[in-house]
Amino acid sequence: MLEAANTFTGGVTVPNGLLIVDGPNAYPGSTSIAGTNGAALRVRNSLALGTTAGSTIVNSNGRLELAGNVTVTGESVTLNGTGGNSFGAPQSQAGDNTWNDPISLAVASSRGGGLLGTTLRLPAAISGTGPLVVRAETNASN
């Protein structure tokens, strides 16, 4: 778990397991969530993913989880798969969460959603080879 503010050069790769980020970060590189072994990055701070200079890439079977009423702005994301579980790659784990920036679907089988009782808002453009399938168990909106 990363709780404090972190400033370093380069980017962040989550190769496997779950990384929870509670604090703001100022790294300029991209964030990559590997697809092997169901890697997941849980964002619990709106500034957790570094500066707006980088982007976020979620590879096949990787998950980008939002929790705690987070609104992410200034960070594009590319989805390269289904997210590794039935709730998808961008998913809401707790609270009312928003991804305010473009989502690019690099494959035809991308999913999004969240746990029951949570909300995932995706108000920005969704483009690519899509569609983005939203799981029925969620309160997702676009």
CA 9 remoteness from chain centre? 21
- Write out pLDDT tens, residues 121-134: 889 988 888 787 77
Phi, psi of 37 (to 5 degrees): 60, 20
- The mean per-residue pLDDT over the stretch 24-31 comes to 82
Distances in Å between the Cα of 70 and the Cα atoms of 60, 109, 127, 129 are 24, 25, 23, 27
- Write out pLDDT tens, residues 89-122: 788 889 999 999 888 888 877 878 888 888 888 8
68 in Cβ contact with 47 (< 8 Å): no
What's the confidence (pLDDT) of residue 77?
87
- The mean per-residue pLDDT over the stretch 3-12 comes to 57
